Amino acid sequence: MYKRQITDIPLFTKQYAPLLINHKRVPSPADIFCPVSLTQTEHEQQCLATLESLLANEHEQICALILEPLMQGAAGMGFYSADYLESALALCQRFGVHAIFDEIATGFGRTGKLFALDYCEVKPDFVCLSKGLTGGYLPMSAVVTTDSIYQAFLDTKLERAFLHSHSYSGNPLGCAAALASLEVFDQDQVLKCNQAKSARIEAGFEQLSQLSGVGSLRGLGMVWAVTLTHPQVSSAQLGLAVAKLARDQGLMIRPIGNQLYLMPPYCITDDQLDQVFITLQQACETVLKQEAPAGYTHPSLLA
C-alpha cells in the first residue's frame, strides 16, 4: 500500500519514506525561498521557467499540478504573487495538465477574497476546501471541480461513476455548520469587515518589525508574518520562546520555527488585536534582548 504524500517537509514525510510515491517537485515561488541575489519577481520568473521546462518535457506523464495558492502555510508562511498563479495555470492549460488548488488554509476569506482563486482570471480544475467551510466548529471538507470533469463521471453505468466515499460523508451536522457559517459570511459582510482588521494587523506587525531581530514582514488579507533572528540563539527556539512568554499573558500562538505569524479568527475585536500586539511586543523584546553563548540555548527561553 502506498501513501500519496505531497508535501516536501521532512517532518511530515521522513517516517513514511518507504511507503511514499515519488512526485515531481518544482521550486517554490514563495518569498521566504527567494535568494538574496534576486528580486521576488525574478525568483518567480525562474520558478516559472523550471515549471515550464518540466511540463514541456514530461506533461504526458503528469496528471496535475498541486499548489497552495498565494501562500504556503506549513512551509513557513511564504507568499507569492497572483501573476505566478496566472502563469502557472496558463502553462497547465497549454500542456493539458490539471491544476489543483489546496485552499484548505487560504479559502473562505483568509487571503482577503473569498478564495485565492478569485485573484485569477484563469481558474483551476479542482479546489480542495475545509477549515473555514464550517467556521472551525465541526470537521468537513469538500473537493470542487469543473462541470466537464463532473460530466466525465456522470453515467448510467455504475462502474463509470466516481465511487469514493466514507461512512460519514455528507454528515448532516457538519453540513448544517457549513451552511450556518456561509450564512454568517453573507449577513455580517465578513470580507468587508476583515479589510479593516487586515490593515490593523499589518500595522501591528509593522510596529513590531521596528524591533531589532524582527524582519521580513509579509502578508495578505488575514494572514501576516515576520521572521525572528538572534545572533546567539538557535532560530528553531526563537518562536517557541516567544510563544511561551505570550502564553503566560493569555495569548496562544503557534509559530513555525522562527516564523511568527497571525491567522486570527474573524470575530476578533479591535481591542483584542491591540492586546495581541502589546503581548507580542513584550514577548519579542524579552526574547530578542537576551544574550547567550554561541550554540547555547538560554534556559529561560524554554522554561
Which burial class, exposed, middle or buried, applies to 228 when counting CB atoms under 10 A from its CB (0-12, 13-18, 19+)? buried
What pLDDT, in 10s, does the model give residues 111-131? Answer: 999 999 999 999 999 999 999
pLDDT confidence of residue 59: 95
Residue 24 has pLDDT above 80, yes or no: yes
Rounded-to-10 torsion of CA 185, 173, 133, 154? -120
CATH architecture of 10-187: 3-Layer(aba) Sandwich (3.40)
Tell me the mean pLDDT in the region 271-293.
86
Looking at per-residue pLDDT, the higher value among 11 and 196 belongs to 196
Closest CA to 104 of 79, 80, 68: 68
- CATH no. of 191-301: 3.90.1150.10
pTM of this structure: 0.86
pLDDT confidence of residue 278: 95
What pLDDT, in 10s, does the model give residues 39-65? Answer: 999 999 999 999 999 999 999 999 999
Confidence bin at 21 (pLDDT 50/70/90): confident
d(CA 200, CA 197): 5
Domain boundary assignment for the chain: 10-187, 191-301
Residue 182 has pLDDT above 80, yes or no: yes
pLDDT confidence of residue 277: 95
d(CA 128, CA 100): 8
